Amino acid sequence: MSSFIVIIGDGLLADRVYEELSARCHVFRRSDFEYGIPGNADLMLVLHDSWDPRAHQQAEEVIKQTGSPWLRGFVSFGEGVIGPLVRPNTPGCSQCGDLRRLLGGQERSEMQQVRQKLAATEHRSIDPWASKTGLLQMANVIVAETERILAEKQAYSEGRMFLTDLKTLNGSWHSFLPDSLCPVCSQIPDDSPELARISLEPSRKISEGSYRCTPLSDLKTVLTDDYLDNRTGLFNSKMYDLITPFADASVNLPMMSGDEGTAGRTQCYGDSELTAILEGLERHCGLEPRGKRTVVHDSYRNLEGQALHPLKVGVHADEQYEKPGFPFQKFDPDTPIDWVWGYSLTEERPVLVPELLAYYSLGCGSAGFVYETSNGCALGGSREEAIFYGIMEVVERDSFLLTWYAKLNLPRLHPQKAGDEELQLMVERMQAVAGYDLYLYNATMENGIPSVWALAKNRKDHGLNIICAAGAHLDPVRAAKSAVQELAGMMLNLDDKLEGNKEKYEQMLKDPSLVRQMDDHGMLYGLPQAEERLSFLLENNDPMRSFQEEFKRRTTHDDLTDDLKDILEEFHRHGLEVIVVDQTTPETRRNGLYCVKVLIPGMLPMTFGHHLTRLKGLDRVLIVPAKLGYVAEPLTFEQLNHDPHPFP
């Protein structure tokens, strides 16, 4: 039986495709959707010599009525676009394709405005770059792809678009991911307490001594094929940093508001690239709810019995809220806000969490009461793995800030006595290539999870003088390596920035209110004049300690979930609750990757911008130093260190 095709559109592209296909199939053609189309077509083609977003939106509505798959072809500013193939009730529609294509361009905001303007008008003019030769080439690709689709072969246009430069006729296929928030094809469910429930499942480690359940090598193909494409990918570029001491790589996450770079740091560039993509996926998941649709909007007063009080995770000081121009307002328990469902692993019950605490790009606006960053966000090859590393990050930042605010005189660790050759080689390379000496300190707090404060001191007379970082892990050597990698990421490539803006950073030294951006914190302590602020660490003349002397040996498990259960039991003993918000999205779930946000009420959250410090409600910073024996009695807020922290 002959296939039945519907062609919508006029112009040379539609004419040429009609001529080719009408000789082989039964073709029904109309210039637009005004008078309707048959509902039994094997395929619908929407073809124009220019960009007609209105017709594409109409096609998305028609597919819901007819159930026929459809494919588009059009010209936009000198570029021929074919695809994607859109199937009914399947994520990955034309609107998703447009979003990815626009985000991959340089003038994304302007192009989005053009798209909206074109969608609001019926008038179409032929694209001036739509040459006859270019349109004929596009027609050939469309006809060939149509034949593949009708023959039920794997369509090239399934989740991909063919982009042709009509000046050079160079063309290539580009894959893209469906937009989980697409208003046309999104299938994410409404948030609910049932979906928030977490039952810890076995998560076997990939090898002895590892704390991962999926080898990085197993993810290589899917990470690059699914997420990285220079024109339509979730990430659209990559870069290797050849200056820093170790193998640093970064990828770019394009957004309408701008570009966001995420970095990976390992001992080889290939692994660093994959790690950067994983970091980018974590960032993508944490920006806003993409896996579940937020549906709870109410006041804390009405939800008190089942909701987390924001004061438990720290808010800004009253005097900060009162300052003119402060971007947040004091929390009002009677003001309705958005809430998402999390799960308390400690109390084993669903709990509502303010959305602006669960996703770190939120918080501004009329209901914004606090600044939240990526604290506790982590990605893993299982949900248990993600929770484990989310806890590690919360602990890492809490230990760093407790040390800073209380000026704890931490025991210094001897890197050469860690019993790890790789760590020793990392230290030697840092000294030889970058000219920095490494200082490691045991910053483990009462929870017992090994935490390391790492400080690099420049031996040269130029460049950043001091760089600080932190790491936390059940394996203290891994914690140290993680911190050292973070240090190396700032070495050498920021020296010119310091020299070119030295006067600005010197002003910050005098006036901490000028420390407003994330980079300001690390750059400030690049000044030699700021070194005295770290004297509580640098002037520790006690003998260095080995890792074996400072860290207790732990029971090792073959299953990461058993490690996680040990941690939860220890936290429960110290009265610390662990709340998990599942941030996993369709974009990550397709490859078995899970993302979570871990909140541990009471622990100190990292903030950037000295005016956005969050300590109110966190008495932990006053009590723990005394509990650990660093001071004789609990501190007062007046005794705390009020200088901007040096976390980069």
Asked if 493 contacts 243 with a C-beta cutoff of 8 angstroms, the reply is yes
Task: Report the distance separating Cα 381 and Cα 109, nearest Å.
Answer: 34
Assess if CATH 3.40.50.880 describes domain 4-175: no
State whether residue 597 is helix, strand or coil: strand
User: How is the chain split into domains, by residue range?
Assistant: 4-175, 234-285, 296-393+556-639, 401-550
Measured CA to CA, the distance from residue 239 to residue 261 in angstroms comes to 10
Rg (CA), the chain: 28
| Lookup: tokens for 325 | 């121009």
Give the DSSP per-residue string, 12-53.
HHHHHHHHHHHTTSEEEEESSSTT---S--SEEEEE-SS--H
**Crossing angle, helix 108-119 and helix 94-103, to 10 degrees?**
150
Burial bucket for residue 113 (CB in 10 Å: 0-12, 13-18, 19+):
exposed
Q: Are strands 79-82 and 160-165 parallel, antiparallel or unpaired?
A: antiparallel
Q: Which amino acid is at 235?
A: F
CA 383, CA 376: separation in Å to the nearest integer? 14
DSSP, residue by residue, 281-311:
HHHHHHHS--SSB--EEE-HHHHGGGB--GG
Distance CA 159, CA 273 (A): 24
> Tokens at residue 207, please?
């090898």
Q: Do 443 and 574 meet the contact criterion of CB atoms below 8 Å apart? A: no
Q: Is 6 helix (H, G, I), strand (E, B) or coil?
A: strand
Read off the tokens for 189. 């469910």
SS3 readout for 243-259:
CCCCEEEEEEEEECCEE
**Measured between alpha carbons, how far is 378 from 597 in angstroms, rounded to an integer?**
7
Which among 52, 60, 170 has a CA at the least distance from the CA of 120? 52
Q: Both tokens of residue 304? A: 């008190």
- Global pTM? 0.95
Closest CA to 270 of 205, 227, 224, 209: 224
Architecture label for domain 296-393+556-639: 2-Layer Sandwich (3.30)
- State the DSSP H helix or E strand holding residue 573, giving kind and residue range, or none if neither: helix 560-573
**Quick one: which of 603, 604, 557, 561 has its CA closest to 578?**
603
DSSP class of residue 433?
I
Q: Do domains 4-175 and 296-393+556-639 have the same CATH topology?
A: no
Tally Cβ neighbours within 10 Å of residue 491: 23
- CB-based contact 630:409 (threshold 8 Å): yes
Beta carbons of 359 and 597 less than 8 angstroms apart: yes
Q: Which CATH class is domain 401-550?
A: alpha beta
Conformational region of residue 407, where left means phi above 0, alpha means psi within -120 to 50, and beta covers everything else: left
CA-to-CA dists, residue 436 to 185, 465, 510, 534, angstroms:
53, 9, 26, 16
Q: Judge contact between 110 and 83, C-beta under 8 A.
A: no
Show Cβ contacts of residue 567 under 8 Å, excluding neighbours closer than 6 positions. Answer: 388, 391, 449, 474
- Compute mean pLDDT per 10 residues along the chain, 648 residues long, and list them: 89 96 93 89 96 95 93 96 97 97 87 84 77 95 96 92 96 97 97 98 94 95 96 95 94 91 94 97 96 97 95 94 92 95 97 95 65 94 98 98 98 94 96 96 97 97 95 97 95 92 96 95 97 96 94 90 97 97 97 98 96 95 97 96 96
10 Å CB burial of residue 65 (0-12, 13-18, 19+) is exposed
For the chain, helix, strand, coil in percent to 5 are 40, 20, 45
